[in-house]
Amino acid sequence: MKKTIIVLALSLFAATAAFAAEGKVVSVADGAAVVDMGSDAKLKKGAGVKLNGKAGKVTAVDGTKVTIKARTADELKAGDTVRVDKAATMQGC
C-alpha cells in the first residue's frame, strides 16, 4: 500500500513538473504576450499553459518565440521575465 501511494505521488509530480521555464517578454498586444523562451521553446500551438501562474494558451510558435494569449498578458511589458508552465490536463477513462 505504501509503495502504491509513493508511485502515485511521484507520477502526479512528474505530470505537473513536465515543463516549466522562464522567458523574456518581447512584446505585448491585444491580450497576448510574445515570450522569447530560448532553447526551452518546446511548446506547440494550441497548448494550454500558465503564464506566471495564470491560465493561457499558445497561439503561435516562431523559432524561440512563443505567443501566449492570457487575461493577464496586458499587465506585462517588454523586458519582463515570466514563468511559463505547461498546464496539467486531466484525462478521463
What is the mean pLDDT for each group of 10 consecutive residues in the chain (93 residues)?
71 59 92 89 88 92 93 92 79 49
**CA 78 vs CA 27, 29, 82: distances in Å:** 5, 10, 11
pTM, two decimals, is 0.73
Query: What does the pLDDT read at residue 77?
Result: 92
Instruction: Please name which of 73, 63, 68 lies closest in space to residue 35, comparing C-alpha atoms.
Output: 68
Rg (CA), the chain: 15
Question: Cell 510558435 belongs to which residue?
Answer: 61
> Which class is 19-86 in CATH?
mainly beta
Query: What does the pLDDT read at residue 19?
Result: 65
Q: Where do the structural domains in the chain lie, given as residue ranges? A: 19-86
50: left (phi > 0), else alpha (psi -120 to 50), else beta?
A: beta
* Backbone phi and psi for residue 18, each to the nearest 5 degrees, phi listed first: -65, -35
